């Protein structure tokens, strides 16, 4: 909001509603005792003894709750004590129930003042407009209306800026969340890659171990096979037996040849005829 010093005029239009002006339009019969109580309250109000004036106005209303002038002046006395939230419903009651146009117009004006105190500029604009309808020539109300409209516009601009800031914060937050998610996904992918690489290395190690085991088993089998097969310089029992038989056969054949040679040089005996 721009740093502008505003001269605020949202104070009660009059110190109190004039009794005679009220009586011109007041259909309710006002007793003398009630009027005297109101006048005592007005005197105390002028002396800025707002608490004492409040007491007198309340006594006048207790005698006659439809006494619009006393109701309006009571609201002013409470307002001057900065008890704005208590003054507001009293102003609203008078603005709604009073038959005196001037009293209603002033009540709407002061409702706008309370709303300005509470920085409820939209409601202040509404109240000042109602007051202007009842008294279009009131320059103070016109000024306050223009001021309330200006402050309302500034307030709305500030709210829009805050919304834009919140929107930017939300976008930055979403962006950071996306970055965090991407970083997390990247970390997960890297971890997964490391796990896969580790598994691959483990598998390769297992395969290598399996190959080594297979090679060891093969070597063990070869050793067993070598144990089963006779060494080149060793003969099995069967081979030895066969070799002995062959040698016997050769020896028999040699003996037969020798015997045949001897037979050729010897005379054959004839059978004797006995």
Domain assignment present for 140: yes
Q: What is the pTM assigned to this prediction?
A: 0.57
Average pLDDT, the chain: 77
User: Which of 129, 34, 139 minimizes the C-alpha distance to 26?
Assistant: 34
pLDDT class for 8, splitting at 50, 70, 90?
A: very low
Contact between 121 and 23 (Cβ < 8 Å): no
Looking at the structure of the chain, the number of domains it has is 1
Residue 174: what pLDDT?
Answer: 74
Domain assignment present for 143: yes
**Helix or strand or coil: residue 250?**
helix
Domain assignment present for 127: yes
Residue 58: what pLDDT?
Answer: 96
Q: What is the mean pLDDT of residues 251-272?
A: 51
Domain assignment present for 66: yes
Domain assignment present for 183: no
Residue 226: what pLDDT?
Answer: 47
Contact between 65 and 94 (Cβ < 8 Å): no
Domain assignment present for 125: yes
Using the predicted structure, report yes or no on whether residue 272 has a pLDDT greater than 50: no
Calpha distance 215→221 (Å, rounded): 10
* Residue scoring higher pLDDT (203 or 25): 203
Segments forming the whole domain that contains residue 105:
19-156
Calpha distance 127→114 (Å, rounded): 10
Contact between 45 and 64 (Cβ < 8 Å): no
Domain assignment present for 271: no
Domain assignment present for 252: no
What is the CATH number for 115?
1.25.40.10
* Residue scoring higher pLDDT (97 or 162): 97
Contact between 57 and 41 (Cβ < 8 Å): yes
């Amino acid at each position: 909001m721009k740093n502008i010093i505003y001269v605020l005029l949202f104070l009660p239009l009059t110190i109190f509603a004039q009794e005679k002006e009220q009586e011109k339009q007041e259909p309710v019969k006002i007793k003398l005792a009630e009027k005297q109580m109101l006048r005592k309250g007005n005197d105390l109000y002028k002396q800025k003894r707002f608490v004492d004036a409040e007491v007198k106005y309340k006594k006048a209303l207790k005698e006659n709750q439809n006494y619009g002038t006393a109701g309006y002046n009571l609201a002013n006395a409470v307002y001057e004590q900065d008890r704005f939230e208590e003054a507001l419903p009293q102003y609203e009651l008078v603005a709604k129930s009073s038959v005196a146009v001037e009293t209603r117009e002033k009540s709407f004006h002061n409702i706008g003042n309370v709303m300005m105190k509470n920085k409820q500029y939209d409601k202040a604009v509404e109240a000042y407009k109602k007051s202007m309808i009842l008294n279009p020539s009131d320059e103070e109300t016109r000024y306050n209306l223009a001021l309330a409209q200006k402050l309302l516009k500034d307030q709305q601009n500030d709210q829009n800026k805050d919304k834009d800031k919140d929107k930017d914060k939300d976008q930055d937050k979403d962006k950071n969340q996306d970055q965090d998610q991407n970083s997390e996904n990247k970390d997960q992918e890297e971890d997964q890659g490391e796990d896969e690489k580790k598994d691959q290395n483990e598998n390769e190690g297992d395969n290598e171990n399996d190959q080594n085991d297979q090679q060891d088993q093969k070597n063990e089998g070869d050793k067993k096979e070598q144990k089963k097969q006779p060494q080149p310089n060793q003969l099995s029992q069967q081979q030895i037996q066969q070799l002995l038989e062959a040698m016997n056969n050769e020896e028999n054949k040699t003996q037969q040849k020798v015997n045949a040679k001897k037979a050729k040089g010897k005379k054959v005996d004839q059978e004797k005829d006995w």
